[in-house]
Amino acid sequence: MKISLNHSTNEQSNLYLRALYAKLRKEYGKCVWQFTPWKDGSKNTIHIGFIDIGAEDSLEVSITYKKNGVINNLTIQGNVTQYIDDQIHNLAINLKIEEELSEHIACATILTGLVPFSNINGTNYTITEGESNTSEIAIKIDAFDQSDAIVEANKYLQNICNLLSIFINSFVTIENIRLTKNFSPANISQKYSEDLDWIDGHPIENNKLVLANYQQGLIDNSLKDTIKSSYMKGCAHFNNAAHLFNGYHPNKAGDTATALYVSALEACSGLFETKTSSCGSCGQRMYSIRQRVLDLVAKHLPSNIVKFVDEHYASRSKYLHAGHCSSSNSYFGTSIPQLDPNSTSGCIQQASPLPINLRDYISYILRQIGADKELTIIKKT
């Protein structure tokens, strides 16, 4: 069967697909995917894969598009009875998206390796103290059924983890995601002093991690998908780098973490307009991404830190593009000093240095961006 949808946005198409899958689960008790996506650009077609709904044969699902990522026509075909074919056709053409959505509450345990968070009440989330230096988070999300809600919750919770990582200067992860029917306000016992000038360490008061007001607001914005993607990508790079320090091994994490930290800064530098000029001889733009990053650092930190970050930027490029490592990865408890004519120190480094200072400077800059710059976008529907 082919169904003409003529959607206008990617968001509209994805909401429709989520609603359709939920409707199939409700009607047939299952909607299990053999997910084998491939795109035929010459025919403007995306073959998504095959759905098992418990019928004699699985159903192949594909879409055609005029605009990339936006459904024009939906095709569902397979060796099923005419009755099932008619049923699915009716489900697909009669979906009322807004009527199918309902509010769900998802919870998870937050892990930081530090002390727990002080209790927080957001508009659509709460954070409360858990057990053994953990915290519990509950979020409100709109979803089509429980399976859909778990997937959506995981996406939003990961975004919140990435934001929290910047806010507290540490890795943040979650475990034990589950759905609940309860959403109770947290008992607020303390407020953050709004001191935003710290660089190293963590925002701990009265043995609790605390957040500034603007940070609490950014979490609510992330649940509405209204934070600029460049900032969220930068936060994700930062949190991934911070994860490498959890169970850190000196011969493995340093160069990769450095690359991710610098990439976090590079992603966020795209939030700012830059003045560019062109070469009088060849017309090529003379303003590099590297300079954009350094200008961002200079906006918030002194010139010696700009030089420090620039050195790490150069190291990242050598590591990613030429495979050059900052150490020989040969330290296992014994130092054997040797010379290296190509190193800045003149000696071979046996273990990659842990970029703690780089972490501190970059998280500081990203926190300042969050406090100073308007990061909210207007969602298109």
Instruction: Show the tokens assigned to 80.
Output: 């099923």
Strand order in the sheet with 59-64: 2-4, 73-77, 59-64, 45-52, 32-40
Distance between CA atoms of residues 269 and 45, nearest Å: 35
pLDDT confidence of residue 315: 81
Q: Which helix (H) or strand (E) holds 256?
A: helix 254-269
Task: Quote the CA–CA distance of 198 and 182 in Å, as a whole number.
Answer: 36
User: How far is 142 from 338, CA to CA, in rounded Å?
Assistant: 60
- Residue 214 is inside which H or E element, if any? helix 213-223
CA distance 110 to 267: 25
> Could you tell me the two tokens for 176?
């034990």
Q: What is the mean pLDDT of each run of 10 residues along the chain (381 residues)?
A: 91 94 92 91 93 84 93 88 84 89 96 93 92 92 95 96 96 94 81 78 92 93 94 96 70 77 92 66 63 92 93 82 70 75 72 80 95 78 44
Q: By CB neighbour count within 10 A (0-12 exposed, 13-18 middle, 19+ buried), where does 132 fall?
A: exposed
> pLDDT value at position 12?
93
DSSP at 247? T
> Given this model, what pLDDT does residue 316 score?
82
CB 329 within 8 A of CB 279: no
> At which residue do the structure tokens 């991690």 appear?
209
CA 377 to chain centre: 16
Which pLDDT score, from 0 to 100, does residue 381 have?
A: 44
DSSP 349: -
Q: What span, in angstroms and rounded, lies between the C-alpha atoms of 295 and 265?
A: 11
300-303 contacts, C-beta under 8 A, 24 or more apart: 300/364, 300/365, 300/368, 301/361, 301/364, 301/365
pLDDT confidence of residue 355: 76
Query: Tokens 């098992």 correspond to what residue?
Result: 52
Alpha-carbon distance of 355 to 258, in angstroms, equals 6
In the numeric block, the tokens 């406090």 are attached to 371
pLDDT number for residue 154: 95
Q: Look up the pTM and report it.
A: 0.88
